[in-house]
Structure 1
Amino acid sequence: MDLQGRVAVVTGGASGIGAASVELLRESGAVPVSWDLGGSPDIHVDVSDAAAVGAAITETVERFGRPSLLVAAAAVPHRSLIIDHDVEAWDRVFAVGMRGVMLSIQAVARTAIEEGTGGSFVLISSNNGILADRYLSAYSSVKAGVNHLARVAARELGEHDIRVNAIGPGPTETQMLAKNLQIPGYVEKIEQVTPLGRIGTSHDIADSIVNLMRAGWITGQVVQSDGGASLTTPRGDSRSAGQATANGSDGSVAQPHA
């Protein structure tokens, strides 16, 4: 798909992956419109509020034109064990991360269908949509939901030539991960289990988003943009280390003693 001149709504577009997506979409010839509550977005909007999203899409059309591209990056993180989870915090994670994504799809899809130009939507998921880490019950559940929402939306919107996919970032240098990056040994551990040997950047993820947005024969897919980090589990990593120890340093297989 040629992105030249297409209007792109980017929720969560004032920072992190959203801001990097705005930058790269602009470089690709699109007209990005950032939606966010904080920072300096083009349009201030709480994507979990249906009336606010309705007002935002109206303003977007009036100021920039009818959008046919969407990057749904707005999300709220929260860490808690399930037994200690605050219900209001749980609801807020779901309000922004699930209802907000649905409302954004709905708003942009309606304008794209009216315009008849087709479109391409990329929903921002996470490795946590397929992995099960402690303390991330709400966030992980939301991202698993986003993965399947992308599949269902792809089925429903395909007849209008609108493709819907999801990107699952792995550990990425954003404000959301800032505290983790300060944990002693965290970065080194991620680098060890990531085949490409480093933590990702917002630009890495934005590059994946824009490339997937362009790919005209891909829809309903969840692509992990993580340098291969999700390919390795601690159990498998430990087993590999044990096997390497069992083998000789020259790669030969150690024989059991009689």
Structure 2
Amino acid sequence: MTTSTTPKRVYSVELFPPKTAEGMDKLKQEIPKINALGPAYFSVTYGAGGSTREGTFETVAWLRSQGIDTAPHLACIGSTRAQVREILAHYHEQGINRLVALRGDLPSGMGAGNSGDFRYANELVSFVHAEFGGAFVIEVAAYPEYHPQSGSPARDLENFKRKVEAGADAAITQYFYNADAYFGFVDSCQKAGITIPIVPGIMPITNYTQLARFSDACGTEIPRWIRRRLEGYGDDVESIRAFGHEVVLGLCRRLIDGGAPGLHFYTMNQSGPVARLWRELGLSD
């Protein structure tokens, strides 16, 4: 549980780079609404194999032009050391001091022979420290329900510990809807000597079909009772969103009450669902 000596909680948000000029225009209208909530920073995703690199750069540059603290994602798979060094130098020149370091995925159709100079995220973390010292706060990914490619929770924990030992400063989790999974993961980390902050990733529920597709792809479990309720609403979007809001609101409250060091909201480039959660949780107070 939190105490008077516990560091201030960090509440942050995530965006993805739009694929079209129209999408960017819409995002620029949403960002001020999200920024008005007072998040510590905005993270910006980076597509498989750098497939959204230019879009990520554009989004990051616009955020910085608005004076918004920004943490770009940087995925290393499929990249050379020279390419990553160039990106890091670019961000350093922009005054960015926080990164989300990931292994990432190769684009569909690209074979393992094109995996580049990095195999795992811990190698990227080590490279950032070797090249830029302590210029960046480095956050990495964590998986309370374990990464589907790791094979087991024990192996996933070993992989996570390697990232921490390489110099990760904090972690952001994959989204989940089972608070016990998060608290169990944190307990396992503490027993393994891992003490960095592990911030829960929060995904609002607004579209069941989309959520089910995402969850099946990334290995996130939608608890049976939640899935059944959402399925029962059929095409009733309003009921899906109302129920989804109450589920996620309750999850956030339990995480905060249980001592989570903050929350990281996956906005899907929409201000409304996150803003409502933010206000009802009193995160700006």
- Which TM-score band applies after superposition, normalised by the shorter structure? 0.3 to 0.5
With normalisation by structure 1, the TM-score equals: 0.40
With normalisation by structure 2, the TM-score equals: 0.37
Task: Specify which structure has the bigger relative contact order, considering alpha-carbon pairs within 8 angstroms and separated by 6 or more residues.
Answer: 2
